[in-house]
Structure 1
Amino acid sequence: MLVSPEFRKQLEGYGLTTAEILYRMPDHPALLQSYIWQDYDIFPEFPVLKKFLDFWGRTLDGPLFKVTIGHDRLIRPAELKAVGAEFRLH
């Protein structure tokens, strides 16, 4: 049975991170637009989010106004226990 990459990331300490990114519209700088970004990242450094925001700043025209971050580790050390055996019942 294969383990999903997302589950592997959670075991490595990554947690689900959601960021609301407010940015100014290039053609109408007085207007703000909202973008929701979500991925697995590490608290408090947020290397994945920082990489995305660097990409945004280099490539996209809409300048960033504000970034609000929410983060939660979905799997905590106390919730994961190693299983020594597996039993199947038919």
Structure 2
Amino acid sequence: MDYKQSNPLDLQLKGYRLATAEIIYHLPDHPKLLQSFLWQFYDVIPDFPELHKFLDFWRDNLDGPLHSVRVSSQELITPGDSRFVDVQYTLH
């Protein structure tokens, strides 16, 4: 999906949810020290394909080996937030 052409509302209506991942990794120069990185994007739950693409990129291109990843997601638009209009008024 091309995210540059989709706004957040369109993504949410297509089933995407805001996902936040806390990525803990080892510092390349000091492997006994851990660093935290927060990643946030719209993704499909429970498969998280965008997060997997990012983690694959991390493993292939960055020096800090991954220690752990903690993921949370939040549904921003719930069924109670959207309703059909029963009446439409026209004002002059």
* TM-score with structure 2 setting the length: 0.83
Give the corresponding residue for 2:3: none
Out of 33, 52, 55, the position equivalent to 1:53 is 55
Counterpart residue identity of residue 8, structure 1: D
Give the corresponding residue for 1:79: 81
Match of 2:84, SS state, is coil
* TM-score with structure 1 setting the length: 0.84
Q: Deviations over 1:46-69 (max 9, x none)?
A: 011010000000000000000000
Give the corresponding residue for 2:16: 14
**Structure 1: tracts of 5 or more residues without a match:** none
**Structure 2: tracts of 5 or more residues without a match:** 1-5
Give the corresponding residue for 2:33: 31
How far 1:73 moved relative to its partner? 1.1
Percent pairwise identity: 52
Q: How many residues align?
A: 87
Runs (4 or more) in structure 1 with deviation over 2 Å come to: 76-79, 81-90
C-alpha distance in 2, partners of 1:47/1:12?
14
1:85–1:8 Cα change, 3 Å: farther
Counterpart residue identity of residue 9, structure 1: L
Aligned-pair Cα RMSD in Å: 2.0
More displaced stretch, 76-85 vs 16-25: 76-85
